[in-house]
Amino acid sequence: MIHTPRYEVAVIGAGPGGIAAGAKLRMAGIDDFVILERADDVGGSWHENNYPGLGVDVPAFAYQYSFARNTHWSRVFPLGGEVEQYHIDIARRFDLYPRIRFGTEVVREQWDDGDSDWKLHIADGSVVTARFLISAVGAFVRPKQDDGIPGRQSFGGKVQRPTSWDHGFDMTGKRVGIIGTGASAVQIIPSIAPDVEHLTVFQRTPVWSLPKPDFALPRAAQLLLSVPGVQTGLHASLLVPLDLMLRGLARGSSHTVHPLMARFDRAAISAYRRYVNLVVKDRATGERLTPDFGPAAKRPTFSNSYLQAFNRDNVSLETAGIDRITATGVETRDGVGHRLDVLVLATGYEVFSDPETYRPGTVLGRKGFDLAKFYAEQGLQAYESVSVHGLPNRWTLCGPYSWTGSGWHAFVEMTSDHAVRAIAEARRRGAVSCEIRKEAADAYHREVYARGESLRYYLNELNGHVRTYYRNSQGDTTYIRPSGFFEAQRANRTYPLDDYLFETSVENGIPA
């Protein structure tokens, strides 16, 4: 077994979270750290995904770090290459590249009680040792390998995936099928439709696809974005209404909130049906494209070309349900065989809010504590979404109940602030370990679970018929934090330090 040098801090992942953590560590004067990244460059999903039409569905001013605002965005909703370059630029600005080990996949995290540090087991057999550990793996942990469709391995044609798109393969004149209508598919479908002979969209669940107010930003607009406070104000204009909505759901009476949710969904579905009928020429197709669930039950998408793609003669919508994938295409449950040259699998990811995402034996803490077992038996939970009792000196940037309606950068910043503050305090006290107290973690979870009652009603009862990663297999809504953004930001930056136990001697349990 090969051992590498011991670092003070190890960060897993060099996506938006890992870059935020690295920048925050440097701002705090902590330079002895390493970032372990399985890919060959920074950016996370923005590096791994390279499919046609890739872009953000959040305005640029809300999809960036508050400490590194970009004044040169080319569009309101930038395309993937520009977003990836933004992350590369920030990593360079904070001199993170010398601290990143690319091609390094962590397969097991194990706390060493004797040495009071983390042993990170790498896929190549080596071990990285670190005193403190920040997991910046992200929300979408890994592409789903098992989509539940029989015969997936039998297809004899070309298979394309959002995370491994072969741009060298010419799909001109090919018969193409795409499975999935999530965020990736909504961008892929209108991008490839003009070139293929025929495109069949196999829809399992319709998606909300709202108009996207996108346009190129002229030089005058870029100059305006460079004025101090302008981008902050624009971002706040999005955050404030979302903040108020989440606060209302978390604190409002169920007798008031539940009927309002039902009325909102009915009105929204009716309005969206009218919108689809205006956009999609064929009324029957439009009806099948219209969801029968509320707009907040699944991740909504934004596009000015997705619904319009179904007006093309070479695009068809298939909703009969897939029976199996065959060597020559897809067979649907109505007995029809669809011959295909190319099959696009846009079937989604394993998400941080599902207990199944955490494999037994991969995160092992104090006295054999297994995170996967804990989550399976007691449900997903973490103090301020960041810290779990039993895992000393470890924080996760995208944990249970973490999303607050903001862009990803805003909340990985706040969780990075949480982790770096705890690390800095442990260093100041000379503590060898820093662990959230069980009573603090339990009290926080009781509160956050109680606040999520209306969200559980919305996803389990009002919209319980629809598959969504907003609701996990345990029937909980651990994807969404039932509080406003500003409350979450304040809590992660000002939590009581006494909620943590700082020990100068693990053997004697002496508090620092």
The pLDDT of residue 143 is 85
CA–CA dist 275, 278 (Å, integer): 5
The pLDDT of residue 308 is 98
Span 185-194, average pLDDT? 98
Among 96-100, 280-284, 347-351, the range scoring the smallest mean pLDDT is: 347-351
The pLDDT of residue 278 is 97
- Give the model confidence (pLDDT) of 156-182 as tens digits: 999 999 999 999 999 999 999 999 999
CA–CA dist 149, 2 (Å, integer): 41
Could you give the dihedral angle defined by the CA atoms of residues 125, 130, 136 and 142, in that order, rounded to the nearest 10 degrees?
Answer: 10
**DSSP letters of 57-76?**
SS-GGGSS-TTS--S--SBS
**DSSP letters of 27-43?**
HTT---EEEE-SSSSS-
Give 2's pLDDT tier (boundaries 50, 70, 90): low
The pLDDT of residue 338 is 96
Span 380-407, average pLDDT? 95
The pLDDT of residue 3 is 56
Q: Between residues 171 and 509, which one has the greater pLDDT?
A: 171
CA–CA dist 508, 503 (Å, integer): 9
Give 509's pLDDT tier (boundaries 50, 70, 90): low
The pLDDT of residue 477 is 94
How far lies 443's CA from each of 16, 184, 332, 446, in Å? Answer: 30, 38, 49, 5
Span 363-372, average pLDDT? 97
Q: Between residues 141 and 11, which one has the greater pLDDT?
A: 11
The pLDDT of residue 512 is 63
* Closest listed residue to residue 427, CA positions, set 131, 133, 12, 111: 131
Give 484's pLDDT tier (boundaries 50, 70, 90): confident
Residue 4's CB is within 10 A of a number of other CB atoms, namely 15
Strands in 51-152 per DSSP E: 100-101, 106-112, 117-122, 127-135, 140-143
- Whether 507 has a pLDDT exceeding 90, the answer reads no
The pLDDT of residue 145 is 74
- Whether 508 has a pLDDT exceeding 90, the answer reads no
Give 243's pLDDT tier (boundaries 50, 70, 90): confident
3-class state of residue 80 by DSSP: helix
129, with CB counted inside 10 A (0-12, 13-18, 19+), is: middle
- Whether 226 has a pLDDT exceeding 90, the answer reads yes
Mean pLDDT of the chain: 94
CA–CA dist 420, 414 (Å, integer): 10
- Whether 1 has a pLDDT exceeding 80, the answer reads no
The pLDDT of residue 153 is 87
- Give the model confidence (pLDDT) of 329-365 as tens digits: 999 999 999 999 999 999 888 999 999 999 999 999 9
487, with CB counted inside 10 A (0-12, 13-18, 19+), is: middle
The pLDDT of residue 5 is 76
Span 20-28, average pLDDT? 98
**DSSP tag of 234:** H
Both tokens assigned to 429: 């006290």
Span 475-481, average pLDDT? 94
- Give the model confidence (pLDDT) of 305-336 as tens digits: 999 999 999 999 999 999 999 999 999 999 99
